[in-house]
Every structure is written in structure tokens, then in C-alpha cells.
Structure 1
Amino acid sequence: MKKNRNKLKIFVLSALIIFIFISINIPYKKALVFLAPESNDILCYVPIDAGETFKIKYTHSIHLSDVIESYKVTESDKIRQYELEYEDFAIGMPSEIADGENFEMKDGKYYITNMAREFSHFDMRLGQVRAKHTLIYEDITYPLSKAIEPGSRIRIKIEKISLLKQLEGVNILDDK
């Protein structure tokens, strides 16, 4: 009788451990993630839902003025660029627009609006000297260099992440 109870306790404990292990590895939370593309390690992330927007602001390396790229999360978990704002119409900045896009100048800045460029992900290199890549989400302005080594190549995408993956990276909302 005692042997059966011990076996039952061992079985229940084993089942509980397996359940916990599986639970922390199931991706369930949608997030905007910043990954190291070589290892797929999450460097930082922001919980986000379809329809929400975010911006990436940086200082252009040649003409040293601000550039702001505006994005929206689609229902299919893609990233859609919908606007680009910049101050200098020079090297490295667009000189043409795609069909359906609008170009305007307002208050000394150039805007390309009505953009519908969709990405499953995009890569960028975090500036080492002047770029000051910054995430703007809701009322939060977060310098990416707080969580990512300047000069690093990063991949930006939308994905569901598990509790374990959340523990690996920095939740930008918690680190503000």
C-alpha cells in the first residue's frame, strides 16, 4: 500500500514538472522583438497587438538630422511601414515615392505618408556613434542602446514568445 502511494506521488510530481516545463515554453504573448539574428536570442521586446503602432527614431549618419520611421502591426503579424519623416533631402533619403504614397513638406520636414510596405521582419545595425536608435511606443521613448550593444546587428519582428523567452530579454515596458 505504501509503495503504491509513493509511486503515485512520484507520478504526480513528475507530471507536474513536465506540465510546468511545457507551460513555460509555449509561445503565447505577441511581442515586437529585437533579436540577435545569428542566435535568435531575444535582446529586448515590447508586448504588442495587431493594430498598434511604434516608431524608430535615429540620427542619420551623413546629414546628422533626425529620421522617424512609423510602423503598424498587421493582423497577420507583419510590420507595415506607413510613414517616414526626415529633415534633409540628401544622400541616403528617398527621392521618389511608390504608387499610392504621398510626399509633402510641412514645417521644414519631409513626409512620405500612406506607405504600405510590409515586412515579416527587418534587420538594422544599431549605431555606435551618433545614430541613437530609439523606440517610441505609446508614451515611452526607449534608447535601444540600454538593452542592445551599439554596433550590433539586430532583427526586428513580431512573434509570440513564451515565458522562458520573456525572461531572456528585457521587457522595455518594465525597463523604462
Structure 2
Amino acid sequence: MKSIKFNKKIFVLLLLIMLILIISINIPYKQALVFLQPEEEDILCYVPIAQGDKFKIKYTHSIHLSDVIESYKITEQNEIQQYELEYEDFAIGMPSEIAEGEHFEMQDGKYRIKNMERRFKHFDLRVGKVRANHTFMQGKVSFPLSKAIEPGTRVRIQVMKINVIQQMKGVNILEHEE
């Protein structure tokens, strides 16, 4: 009789622990910059990120075939703010004017627009198929997006909290640096 009560208590305790585990792995807790497919909301890759963190996206422009670097930071409202744009050619598809408050400079053969205040909840990007080679850069990390995202795929880039399951499904960019 005692062993049945003891077994019941262990069973209930194990059931409770399993329930807590199942619930906890589904609670979004880690803030990340995510690259997801907008149609399915599937996270393809992500990087843990905090307010004030900066990152860049580098790509080869399809027309003039030179590097373009877009610089971003995460605001206090968890928006993505573009604060700088660097490019080499004043050609089709590149800005010829700046917005109020922005600063334009040319140095070492590169054009830079600084002091940009362009804020986004998210933005979409199509990972280049031929020569764009979209690359995520943060500190010493340089990660070609084509390693985790099929070229030609449209992705949405945004800040959100993710849970353990989403972390396991997506590629953590920091764990796959070159």
C-alpha cells in the first residue's frame, strides 16, 4: 500500500516536471535578430542581440559590382535603425541625395552617408542568387547568409524574443562564424 502511494507521488511529480519543461521551452525569452520567412514565420537563422548592439549587412551591388555596406543598430524600442551606408559607385540604385540631418562624405574612394535615422520594425531582403553574397557582420563575425538561407529566398529581418524550440530549428550565426 505504501509503495503504491509512493509511486503515485513520483508519477505526479514527474508529470509536473514534464509539464513545466514543455511549457518553459515554448516561452520566448531570448532577444534575437531573426531572419525568417515571412509567409511561414520559420526562423532560418538568428543572432542574440541587445539594445544598442550594432551589425552590418554587406553585399555586392548587382549593377556596378562593388561592395555596399549598410550599418544598423538596435534602438531602445527594439527597432532596427540604419545609421550609415557605405558604397563605392555613384550609379543606378545608390542614393544621390541625403535626408535632413544626414551627413555625406567621401573618403578613400568610398561614399558614406552618416547620421542616418531610418528606423524599421522589420525589413525584407532577398538573398542574392548570383553575385550579391549578402553577408551579416558583427564585430569579428562575418557570416554569408547563403550558408543558412537558400539564395533567392525573401527573408524578413526583425528583433523578437525566441524560445528554445525556435533556437534549435534556426542557425545561430555566432556558432557558425568563418
Coarse TM-score class (shorter-chain normalised)? over 0.9
Find the counterpart in structure 2 of residue 23 from structure 1: 24
- Residue correspondence of structure 1 range 34-113 to structure 2 within 5 A: 34-113=35-114
Moved over 4 A (4+): none
- Report percent identity of matched pairs: 63
Give RMSD over aligned pairs: 1.0
Q: What is the alpha-carbon distance in structure 1 between the residues aligned to residue 48 and residue 139 of structure 2?
A: 12
Q: What is the alpha-carbon distance in structure 1 between the residues aligned to residue 152 and residue 175 of structure 2?
A: 24
Q: Which amino acid aligns with 1:129?
A: V
By how many angstroms is 1:5 displaced?
2.5
By how many angstroms is 1:95 displaced?
1.2
By how many angstroms is 1:146 displaced?
0.6
TM-score, scaled to structure 2: 0.96
Q: What is the alpha-carbon distance in structure 2 between the residues aligned to residue 173 and residue 85 of structure 1?
A: 24
**3-state secondary structure, aligned to 2:23:** helix
Q: What is the alpha-carbon distance in structure 2 between the residues aligned to residue 35 and residue 97 of structure 1?
A: 30
CA deviation profile, 1:76-101 (whole Å, cap 9, x unmatched) = 11100000001111111111111111
By how many angstroms is 1:20 displaced?
0.3
By how many angstroms is 1:3 displaced?
3.5
Q: Which amino acid aligns with 2:115?
A: N
By how many angstroms is 1:104 displaced?
1.2
By how many angstroms is 1:6 displaced?
2.9
Q: What is the alpha-carbon distance in structure 1 between the residues aligned to residue 173 and residue 114 of structure 2?
A: 27
Q: What is the alpha-carbon distance in structure 2 between the residues aligned to residue 143 and residue 21 of structure 1?
A: 34
CA deviation profile, 1:124-172 (whole Å, cap 9, x unmatched) = 1000001000001111111010111000000101111111110010111
Q: Which amino acid aligns with 2:103?
A: N
1:147 matches 2:148: yes
Q: Which amino acid aligns with 1:128?
A: K
Find the counterpart in structure 2 of residue 124 from structure 1: 125
**3-state secondary structure, aligned to 1:173:** helix
